[in-house]
Amino acid sequence: MKLLRRVPLLALLAVTSCGIPATGVVEAGGPASGTLPQTPVYFVEGGALVAMPRTTERPGDPEAALRLLMAGPLAGEGRQDGLATEVPGVPTAMALPPATDGPGEPPSPDTPTVTVKGNAMTIRLPAGMDRLSGTGVRQIVCTAAAAYLLTRPSDATVTAEVTGGDGWQVRASDESCPER
């Protein structure tokens, strides 16, 4: 009688075994590394600034974040009319490569430079950048400040002096930045 009860169980096991042999550990690359580091980059949508996350190799680096801003919004990005920018830059949907300036080398004239002392920034834009609109300046300041604060969280206001390539200059802070 016990044998008759075991026959259906043995038949079920035989049917469910699909003939795949057991294997040991299979090497298939490195371990999962989690999410890629991102930095917020501020674009314009419906007249307001919105932060868009961008993958970066240098989180916390304001210069790298500004190069992503100068690359412009990605195609199809944004809710209704898409994103726009009031910051001129390279007309491409791809992010600019990181600067290749080495230590002690002068910065490339085509990339922004940022100097930070405490919570005060000096942002020098590339040569040829005409005076920016108020929204364009806010895009620059919010993007640089957000990147800087990624690795140095603080409730303090970040102030910035933005200088254009032809010598124009404006002071601003990150107080009016969304998601501050």
* Span 20-55, pLDDT tens digits: 556 665 566 555 566 678 999 999 998 899 999 999
pLDDT of residue 75: 79
The answer to the question of residue 161 being in a domain is yes
Q: What is the pTM of this model?
A: 0.71
Number of separate domains in the chain = 1
pLDDT of residue 153: 83
Q: Which of 72, 109, 75, 104 is nearest to 87 (CA)?
A: 72
The answer to the question of residue 5 being in a domain is no
Instruction: Count CB atoms within 10 A of the CB of residue 26.
Output: 5
The parent domain of residue 132 ranges over: 38-98+108-173
Instruction: Count CB atoms within 10 A of the CB of residue 122.
Output: 15
The answer to the question of residue 2 being in a domain is no
Give the span between the Cα atoms of 148 and 55, in whole angstroms: 15
pLDDT of residue 96: 45
- Tokens describing residue 15: 């049917």
Average per-residue pLDDT in the chain? Answer: 78
The answer to the question of residue 26 being in a domain is no
The answer to the question of residue 8 being in a domain is no
- For 55-111, what is each residue's pLDDT tens digit? 999 999 999 999 999 999 987 776 666 788 999 874 433 344 444 444 444 445 578
The answer to the question of residue 154 being in a domain is yes
The answer to the question of residue 62 being in a domain is yes
Strands 48-55, 113-117: pairing is unpaired
- Tokens describing residue 72: 């412009």
pLDDT of residue 90: 47
Give the span between the Cα atoms of 61 and 151, in whole angstroms: 9
The answer to the question of residue 162 being in a domain is yes
